[in-house]
Structure 1
Amino acid sequence: MKQFFLTLAGVFAGMMLFFVGLPVLLIVSAIGSAQPSVPGRAVLELDLRQGLTDQTPANPFAALGGAVSVMDVVEALDRAEEDSQIKGLFVRLPEGGMTPAAADELRHAFRRFRAAGKPIVAHSQGVMASGAAVSTYMLGASSGDLWMQSNATLEAVGLATEEIFLGRAFDRYGVNAQFEQREEFKNAVNAFTQSDYTPAHREATLSWMNAIYEAAVGKAAQERRRTPDQLRATLEQGPYPAERARQLGLIDHVGEMEQARDAILERAGRGSRLVDFGEYVRAHVPGGGGSIALVEGEGSIMTGYGTIDLFGSGDGIYSDDVAEQLYRAAEDDDVKAVVFRVSSPGGSPVASEQILAAVRAVRAAGKPVVVSMGAYGASGGYWIASEADEIVAQPTTLTGSIGVYSGKMALGDALARFGVDVRGLAVGGAYADAYDAGEGFDAQDRAVLAQQVDQVYADFITRVARGRDLPPERVREIARGRVWTGAQARELGLVDHLGGYHEAVARAAALANLGDAADVRVKRYERDLGPFGGLFQALGGASTSLRGLMALGAVLSDPEARAALAQIRDAQTSQGRAMVLAGRGVG
């Protein structure tokens, strides 16, 4: 009995340390590092190997790990151009590919920083042939002084993508994937219905891939003072070890990280010190007030208010949150224009419409709205942007995908093979059990589903036609669920200007007659959780996770329960996916 109480006390003490001690430690750490000092001669160190979000994560503790976003980098480098204490920038490049639009945005920020007379040194431990590796190389080239570790390899030989198609497996195991898509280029669910790229899927994918590849090679060629054809031919004959890459003029120096670091410190002058980029961001927290409001949204679009999980990023565009911020900006007398930063592959059409209604309200208040697109402005992400005064996108932003899908995966036959029977009951109308996972749609259900999808697609076309001042017939021609790059979308009239956040602020200032954008104050709008709101939300997610882990541990002490859970887990994994995909999305 004594051992039992000792164990119970230990568990209680551990929980108190986790739920009280850890949050207090994090808060104290945050307060202590909120305004770190910057030395008189500083070189900012930007480590891109951790990956980048487009915007600052909603999780209030994310910044404590040193993570920064594309928006953080752009805003901080714009300030650093005029900061006499900042003498240079040292960049650690990722080994994999970067999101092309993020690489484009950072490239422009690097070029402005260099134009202010401040040097950049970038160091690479290799560029692997994965994803958009050529975008990583392009960003490194824009530094003007690109180093590579002696035993590293440059594999920026092209652009590749890969998709796993489950159509044959689903047929074999009795999973019935049933979806309505508008139109043939709306390929979000092809992975579940096909065994290979359809002609439309292949055409659209190769189109944006070629556009992104050519853009990255062209910009890297400009930095390396070559023609695009020359650089492309050289890169595609790779991969190259570091020394060979230097001999071919693809990089500037071969050396270890410490050598590259010492080189930028020497250029910065005697007494220069490295300063972590995240510390510099936190040392210059934007103040309140401003003539332009900045409202941000990143991730899938969904209804409701967002929550913050201590163990997650909290990413997502929640319609209540974003609409509320836009309405506040509309009512704020100090705000003369709004920059709406969007990076989203899509989501719920009703959530998208709620946000678009708020965009209309800002414009009705006489305040122009300029959308700045990040990595994606696609599907629902384009819906919420469609009626802005102007849309600004990077040449490589994935844009458009004006289309809709809806459906479900019927799992009854598949689960029956494992002795699991799905049975449902329903009362009311015939459509009440249409989205049950056991059976597929009958003819009447499928007809209703098709009608709903047609209506949402028609609504999407109407909003784009109205917002972009295009005939509906023209929008239908260029829609069809097809993804374009920002450069292609500009030619089609879906985008007004090419550029990033910097250019979007300039356009908003011009539309609001605010004069020089450099003198305009920007006020960031975000959800107000109060001083402890974020902490309580984070702890709510943490406690839920912990309760689940404790319950699971108890169950798994029984060998028979372990065997039963293995079968249930597989079934629930498939069903969970069906429920997510059954959402009537425009993603």
Structure 2
Amino acid sequence: MKRDVKMADRIALIPVKGPIVGGGGSMIPRQPGAEMSKLVRQMLREAKEEADGVIFAPGGTPYPTKEIAQTVEEFGKPTVARIKENGLSGAYWIASSCDRIVADELSRVGGIGVSAFQPDFSELLEKLGVKFKSSATGKYKEQGLPFGSGEGEDFMEEHLEEVNKIFAESVAEARNLDEDEAEEVFEGKPYLGRQAKKVGLIDRLGGREEAVEECSEMMGSEEVDIVDYGEKMEKESRGLLGSVLDQLFG
């Protein structure tokens, strides 16, 4: 009589590489990470159908980072973040949305905070004899232009403070941190892995093996298969490109 053979449970390995920035709607050429939010969420949707748990190998601009973090929170299956080298800023926001975080003792973790940069070309333009004129309906409308208007700086600071508050509140809730007791944690300070564990930013020191152990424990599985969705998506992309090229030049 043929016995039923139980298939090993599957853990999806999802890489989050490069800067997490918004895509489209800009005259500036897209950066390599412009579609990272879209790609990660696509991998998560596939993994939800095919896998029993997820390990993330995870800064970025706030909105796409928040998009990924919310998708992870809503995943509904065990999730583990594995920080190999850097889990700072937006990368840590994503990591904190996972059930558990594993990081190498020499990794850099945290960097909880936001920043903004605005170049000021006004002195250079003045030396070159170039004058810049503009018209706007309000003093905040030209905020961010690199021509030294100086208007709306207080507004920008308020804006950053509000974004930072949302970031800190999300991390505090996810990691069960008291904002008053862990005030230093929310000042943008990066921690090495060992320090991060002491202040409650991670759960365990280790690498891929330890991350798999954590995920397997939550899944209640003794035997698991690891599916690298980064490689999977890359193969699918190459296959699609190959099909298009065959149709065009075959």
Counterpart of 2:71 in structure 1 is: 358
Whether the 8 Å CA contact 2:23–2:35 is kept in 1: the answer is: no
Shift of 1:530: 5.8
Determine the C-alpha separation between the residues in 2 that align with 1:354 and 1:295. 16
User: Structure 2 vs 1, CA of residues 468 and 456 (structure 1 numbering), >3 Å: closer, same or farther?
Assistant: same
Determine the C-alpha separation between the residues in 2 that align with 1:422 and 1:382. 40
Deviations 1:321-350 (A, max 9, x none): 1122123222x1x411100111xxx11011
Whether the 8 Å CA contact 2:55–2:211 is kept in 1: the answer is: yes
Shift of 1:493: 0.5
Determine the C-alpha separation between the residues in 2 that align with 1:316 and 1:511. 33
Determine the C-alpha separation between the residues in 2 that align with 1:377 and 1:534. 35
Choose which of 103, 121, 146 in structure 2 pairs with 1:437.
Answer: 146
Q: Which has the higher contact order (CA 8 A, sep 6+)?
A: 2
SS in 1 for 2:84: strand
TM-score, reference length from structure 1: 0.37
Whether 1:377 aligns to 2:87 is yes
Whether the 8 Å CA contact 2:82–2:207 is kept in 1: the answer is: yes
Structure 1: 5+ residue stretches without partners: 1-288, 306-312, 538-587
Deviations 1:40-77 (A, max 9, x none): xxxxxxxxxxxxxxxxxxxxxxxxxxxxxxxxxxxxxx
Structural mapping, 1:282-321, within 5 Å? 291-304=10-23, 314=32, 318-321=36-39
Determine the C-alpha separation between the residues in 1 that align with 2:181 and 2:23. 34
Shift of 1:477: 3.1
Structural mapping, 1:305-344, within 5 Å? 314=32, 318-330=36-48, 332=49, 334-342=50-58
Greater helix share, structure number? 1
Deviations 1:169-215 (A, max 9, x none): xxxxxxxxxxxxxxxxxxxxxxxxxxxxxxxxxxxxxxxxxxxxxxx
Determine the C-alpha separation between the residues in 2 that align with 1:377 and 1:440. 36
Q: Count matched residues.
A: 228
Counterpart of 1:415 in structure 2 is: 125
Shift of 1:411: 0.6
TM-score, reference length from structure 2: 0.83
Choose which of 187, 204, 208 in structure 2 pairs with 1:497.
Answer: 204
User: Structure 2 vs 1, CA of residues 535 and 371 (structure 1 numbering), >3 Å: closer, same or farther?
Assistant: farther
SS in 1 for 2:128: coil
Whether 1:405 aligns to 2:115 is yes
Across the aligned residues of Structure 1 and Structure 2, the Cα RMSD in angstroms comes to 2.4
Whether 1:529 aligns to 2:237 is yes
Whether the 8 Å CA contact 1:293–1:338 is kept in 2: the answer is: yes
Amino acid at match of 1:349: P
Whether the 8 Å CA contact 1:399–1:483 is kept in 2: the answer is: yes
Structural mapping, 1:409-488, within 5 Å? 409-426=119-136, 428-442=137-151, 445-488=152-195
Whether the 8 Å CA contact 2:102–2:204 is kept in 1: the answer is: yes
Shift of 1:451: 1.2
Percent same amino acid at aligned positions?
29
Deviations 1:445-476 (A, max 9, x none): 11211111111111111111111111222343
Determine the C-alpha separation between the residues in 2 that align with 1:533 and 1:466. 43
Structure 2: 5+ residue stretches without partners: 1-7, 25-30, 246-250
